[in-house]
A and B are shown apart, each in its own frame.
Chain A
């Protein structure tokens, strides 16, 4: 596969469930990002990882727990979510070392919290 992939594409979970979103980039980039896109709100940056180290946490509630085991994989662990957390979660990557500012996005995971 090429580019940025995300699984699952759709997820429905109850408020007491624990689930994980997965992102994988096949571009050799050093930076990876999680974004949240809610209805009627601009796309919001959640977390930034650079060479597996978290460099940004945009005041995200602790019920969202990111994990970056290597530069190619990024996870978002979810537990005890609220219905207002229902949104499209987008992953992106970029090659900041080479001065590449463009972020490449995956197709997203559509999350519904019941």
Chain B
């Protein structure tokens, strides 16, 4: 059974500092990995999706890397801003034939202080 872990569970940084969020998964037979953002009391917003054949994806200040063989992904957020404060979740999808069933990590709660 796939297990996804995110460490640390919470992170507090001063504005301008780079953020590094970690995600690990136990079964490397994944189809893709996604990073989501969740604001308090709200739904999830997709940030980046990395296919299993890719090593990284970039969008603006966000960069996500994937090392499937070691079961790890890292989300980098450059030059953090107070508006980046949220919970960040990673989720893995198993091989395509199994359907779009995501397994989520517990999330990392980020606070960026002005």
- Stretch of B36-44, B56-64, B76-84 contacting A (4+ beta carbons < 8 Å): B36-44
* Number of chain B residues whose Cβ lies closer than 8 Å to a Cβ of chain A: 24
Which of B34, B102, B107 is the one whose CB lies under 8 Å from A45? B102
Residue with the greatest number of chain B CB neighbours at <10 A, chosen from A40, A101, A102, A107: A101
Q: How far is the CB of A4 from chain B (nearest CB, A)?
A: 7
Chain A contact-residue range equals: 20 to 34
Kindly state whether residue B54 has any CB partner on chain A within 8 Å. Answer: no
Cross-chain contact A48 with B100 (CB below 8 angstroms):
yes
In the complex, which residue of chain B has the Cβ closest to the Cβ of A44?
B104
Main secondary structure on chain A at its contact with chain B? strand
Q: How far is the CB of B13 from chain A (nearest CB, A)?
A: 23
User: Hey, what's the 0/1 contact readout for A35-72 against B, CB within 8 Å counting as 1?
Assistant: 00000111111001010000110000000000000000
Residues of A within 8 A of B41 (CB): 88, 108, 110
Kindly state whether residue B68 has any CB partner on chain A within 8 Å. Answer: no
In the complex, which residue of chain B has the Cβ closest to the Cβ of A56?
B101
Q: How far is the CA of A50 from the CA of B101 in the complex (A)?
A: 12
Q: How far is the CA of A6 from the CA of B44 in the complex (A)?
A: 13
Which residues in B have some Cβ–Cβ distance to A below 8 Å? 4, 31-32, 34, 36, 41-46, 49, 89, 91, 93, 99-107
Known: A45-B102, A105-B45. 5 other contacts (CB 8 A): A43-B91, A48-B99, A101-B31, A102-B49, A105-B43
